[in-house]
Structure formats: structure tokens, C-alpha cells
Amino acid sequence: MKVSNKSLALLTTILAIVFSAAGRAEDADRAGTSKQSLQAKIEYCTTCHGSSGQGYHGFYPIPRLAGQQTQYIENQLLAYIEHRRENKYMYSVAHVLSPATRSALARHFSELNPKPLGGAPKGLVVTGKKIYEDGIPETNVPACMACHGGEAKGQGAIPRLAGQLNDYIISKLLNWNLERGRDPARPDISAIMLPTSHNLTKAQVAAVAAYVGHLQ
Amino acid sequence: MVKFVSAKIAVAAVIASVLPALAGDAEPASVRNCTWCHGASAQGYAPAPRLAGQRLQYTENQLRSFIKHTRDNPFSKQYMWGAAANISPSTMHYLAVYFSQEPPKAANDGDKEFAASGKALFEDGNPAANTVSCAVCHGPNAEGIRDIPRLAGLSYFYLKRKLTEWGEGYHTGAKAPMSGIASKLSSNEIEALASYLSFVK
């Protein structure tokens, strides 16, 4: 049976549409993560970290991810997976993520900008600002601003502190090596904060945490 | 003369009615209004959950939610909207504090076979299925904190009903993320969690 040119053209067109539609679905598969599964993962993260990544005061303070440096988020996720930073909840959720998903999640949260969750004592902000900007030379505490930036937005691997939960910051600064630096064979950049965290008094930690916690 | 005596009797009667509360061992009148349904020592009875040992901020929030009608599941609507309607803010606070200090007893009415998988789910969630760890907010022993409720030892039937109702679209009392979380749980996961928690001391 002879196939006419017209019907051949029609058949070819239909096939082209069918296969390119399949191709478009594959386009959504950005870097190995389908749009749908990324959305589901984002929802999963925000269940604990807040609908806009602003953080949440659970039994444990769950930190703000919104506006965070992408490199910092990716580094932390990898540190959890490699048990250099030890937290059983974060290991549990992180170790199922592909590198591509980790990047996509970091990018998503870095672009959010909700208001700070708040809750820190306002009276400490002035003292905290002084420590943040000038450091405490007498006890070898450098100015936080020098690395974390004038607006506490961080850069690269150095985290944003602006708007972070104050009780999260307090808990981390007072217990720096409880979670971090857990693999002595593989020391990482987190070690940089250890001396500073030791040299700050509890009151100073509370003040700095109150200050950065209220920064937008 | 008779009038004077009746007045004295009336005064004595009023004092007598207050004495038990002043004595400290009997329940205050406002608490008795609750334990009618919530059981002796507020341990819970039938559909009414245990109040004993609950976080005071949580209890207070729930009482307010009954007045505001934000908590709208069937039993709340049928019983608690009316029961809470005339409670003053100061009494609410008093009741919340009172119950928070009552020692809780675990209901132990779940299914022991499901309890083990419930424990794993409670502590770790299920990351592959995007189910969160309950412990992150409710604490590793389901003890709760601030306005996040203690789940330890609540009745399996109550917990199962709450998780199911949230999945059906009923609202939480205060701004809690539980509606979204519960709606993603499978019925097996609800069974496991409710069973496990009913045994936690």
C-alpha cells in the first residue's frame, strides 16, 4: 500500500510532537532532579525549617535557611552526610539527597527573604552590636563583622547570621564542637570558629545572638 | 430572730462549700467541671484526652481556640466549644497551670506490635517518603516544650483520631504545622505512631 506524502508528513509530525513532549518532561529533570520531587523536598524541609525557611522554635531550635549562602548550606549538608557534623536528624534527611538536589535546595532557600523570627531580648541588641562590630580585643575575640560582613549576610562558605534564631546561635556558640569537627581525621573549615566560641562568655554570646537575630 | 439564724446558716453554708478547695485535697470547682469528662485526676476518659501533665501554654491555647472556634473537629465542636465558652482568661490560665502539674499516666492502649515501627518513625521520620521526625519539635521523649504538646502516653484512640482528622482537613487550635504533616501520613504510619506514643512514659 502506498503511503501518501501528506499522511507521511502528518505521521512524522505526530511522532515529532510525541517525542518532543517526552523530551520536555526530561527538560524538567534539571540536573537529575525532577521538578515535582524537588518541590516535595522543599516542602519537606520547610515542615521543620518554616514555610519560608525562617526557622522554628521546636524542641530544638531549628535554624533559619532563608537567605543563607548556598555554599554554606551545601557544605553543611555534606558535613552531616560525612558525619563531620553530627546530628542524627539532619543526617537522616540529608543522606538521601543527591548532590544535584542539595544544590537545588540551597539555591531555593538562598533566595527567600522572610522577616526574622525574632524572640531575642531587645535589651541585649546594643551590646551585641558593639561586640559584632568591634570584637573583644582583651579576650582575642575578632570582630564578627570582619568575616560575616557588616550586615551579617556572610559570603561564600561563611554563613549569613542575619535573622538567625538567637537560641540556635547561642546553642551552637556554647557547644561548638558538640556537633562540628566530629571526624578528627578530616578537620574542616568549621574549626575556624572554635577559638572564638571558647573566648566568648555566655553573656557575650547572648548579646551577639540577640543582635544578629534581629537583623533583616 | 429566725431571719438572723437563717442568715448565719447561709453564711456557714457558703463557707462550707469553699472549705474543700481551701483544704487543698479536693479539686477546685472549676477543675471539677473538667474532670467530669476528662476523667479522675484528668487522665482522660473515652474521647476526652488526658490533660494531666500537658504543657500549660498548649492547654491555654486550646481553650482559647474553643472560644474562637478555630479548633473545629467534631468532638471539639460538640463538647468543648460549649464547655469553654464561659471560662475567663484568668481561669483558663489557672486550669492550664493546674493540669500541667498533675502527674500524667501513660494510657498504654496502643497495639504493642506496631509500637516498634512507631518509635522509629517518631524519632527518624522517613526521609525517602518526606515524613518528618516528630522528635525534632515534640522532643525525643515526646515530652513537648512551650506551646508544643506532650504526646507521651496520650491515648492511642485520641492520637489516631487527631492525626486522621487533620488529614481530613479539620483545623488545629493554634498555628501548628500539624495539618500539613498529618495529611501526608499513611494510615499505617498513623497506627504505628499512635500506638507507640500511648506507651511512652
CB B160 within 8 A of CB B191: yes
- pLDDT category at A29 given cuts 50, 70, 90 is very low
Taking CB atoms and an 8 Å cutoff, what residues of chain B touch A58? 136-138, 145, 148
The pLDDT > 70 percentage for chain B reads 87
Report pLDDT for A199: 96
Please tell me if residue B178 touches chain A, with a CB cutoff of 8 Å. no
Complex confidence, ipTM: 0.81
Question: pLDDT tens digits for B54-96?
Answer: 999 999 999 999 999 999 999 999 999 999 999 999 999 999 9
Burial, B12: exposed, middle or buried (Cβ in 10 Å; 0-12, 13-18, 19+)?
exposed
Indicate whether B133 pLDDT > 80.
yes
Question: pLDDT tens digits for A116-133?
Answer: 999 899 999 999 999 999
> What is the topology classification, in CATH, of domain B28-100?
Cytochrome Bc1 Complex; Chain D, domain 2 (1.10.760)
Indicate whether A31 pLDDT > 50.
no
Give the C-alpha separation, A114 to A67, whole Å.
9
Please tell me if residue A36 touches chain B, with a CB cutoff of 8 Å. no
Query: Which range among A67-71, A188-192, B117-121, B137-141 shows the weakest confidence by mean pLDDT?
Result: A188-192
Residue in B170, B62, B185 with CA at minimum distance from that of residue B133: B185
CB B148 within 8 A of CB B58: yes
- Tell me the average pLDDT of chain B: 90
Count Cβ atoms below 10 Å from residue A159 Cβ, excluding itself.
22
Report pLDDT for A23: 46
- Whether residues B127 and A96 touch (CB distance < 8 A) is answered with yes
CB B60 within 8 A of CB B90: no
Over residues B19-38, the mean pLDDT reads 72
What's A64's DSSP letter?
A: P
- pLDDT category at A34 given cuts 50, 70, 90 is confident
Cell 505512631 belongs to residue: B193
CA distances from A187 to A79, A180, B176 (A): 11, 9, 39
Residue in B133, B58, B124 with CA at minimum distance from that of residue B93: B58
Taking CB atoms and an 8 Å cutoff, what residues of chain B touch A57? 146
CB B136 within 8 A of CB B89: no
Query: Which range among A44-48, B2-6, B76-80, B111-115 shows the weakest confidence by mean pLDDT?
Result: B2-6
DSSP character string of B25-90:
SSPPHHHHHHHHHH-GGG--BTTBPP-TT--HHHHHHHHHHHHHT----HHIIIIIHHHHTT--HH
Report pLDDT for B30: 86
The CA distance from B7 to the nearest CA of chain A, in Å, is 55
Who among A43, A44, A48 is closest to B136 (CB)? A48
Question: pLDDT tens digits for A192-206?
Answer: 999 999 999 999 999
CA torsion A19-A22-A28-A30 (nearest 10°) is -70
Q: Does CATH place domain A35-213 in 3.40.50.300? A: no
Indicate whether B178 pLDDT > 90.
yes
Write the CB contacts of A93 (distance below 8 Å, at least 6 apart in sequence): A44, A45, B125, B127
The CA distance from A198 to the nearest CA of chain B, in Å, is 27
Paired strand residues for B148:
B145
Domain boundaries, chain A: 35-213
> What is the topology classification, in CATH, of domain B112-199?
Cytochrome Bc1 Complex; Chain D, domain 2 (1.10.760)
